Amino acid sequence: TPTITPIPQPPIVLSDDNQTGFWQSSGDQNPGGEKVWQLSLTNSTATNQSGTDSLEIVTVEGSNSHLYLFHDYGGSNTQNWSPRNTVTFYWYGTNTGVALSFQIQTGVINPWDEITDCKFTDNFTGWRPISFTISSCGGTANLTRVRRLMLGNQTGISYPSGTALTWYVDRV
């Protein structure tokens, strides 16, 4: 008898162009109370990996130390990611050594209550695909009800006054 091999699910592209319509900056505090950077988010046509633009992320000068970008699916509008096993996006590294995190948040009352946390380090320069097998990331997210995606740094970052960091993300 022949062996039947399931056909893998084709990738779902969540955001490729006009990413300022998808991602938001978290303002000046995250729900954990830490100060966060004020960010400038723009669609960049000069530096992109796919499509017509990428999301340019520029930290605005200040003493804040955490970077948080997020996308909320809103209220009871959740996504079922249980058939999926991989998250991939392109990151334009600037070799800062900053430890970063892509989180899938699924908590019912507070998205932060159930998190799967996929980590990577900005230790390269230029575009690189960042890909995670979701089951290999640590956490407790219930993939049948994805409520929020978050992209940020894992620990506080201190840079001299007047120093801004610029990164790019594309094709999530």
DSSP-derived letter for residue 155 is: S
**Percent of the chain with pLDDT strictly greater than 90:** 15
pLDDT tens string 45-61: 999 888 899 999 887 65
Q: Tokens for 159, please give them.
A: 């840079």
First-to-last alpha carbon distance for the chain, in angstroms, is 40
* Residue 105 near residue 114 (C-beta atoms within 8 A): yes
Q: What confidence score (pLDDT) does residue 157 get?
A: 59
Closest CA to 110 of 32, 38, 14, 13: 32
Q: Model pTM?
A: 0.82
Q: What confidence score (pLDDT) does residue 138 get?
A: 85
* Residue 113 near residue 107 (C-beta atoms within 8 A): yes
Residues 6+ positions from 148 with CB-CB distance below 8 Å: 70, 71, 72, 73, 103, 105, 111
- By CB neighbour count within 10 A (0-12 exposed, 13-18 middle, 19+ buried), where does 159 fall? middle
* Residue 92 near residue 61 (C-beta atoms within 8 A): no
Determine how many CB atoms are found less than 10 A away from the CB of residue 162. 6
* SS3 (DSSP) at 141: coil
Phi and psi torsions of 134, nearest 5°: -55, -40
pLDDT tens string 138-161: 888 899 999 889 888 766 555 555
5 versus 126: the higher-pLDDT residue is 126
Residues 6+ positions from 33 with CB-CB distance below 8 Å: none
Q: What confidence score (pLDDT) does residue 35 get?
A: 55
Assess whether pLDDT exceeds 80 at residue 75: no
pLDDT tens string 91-100: 999 988 888 8
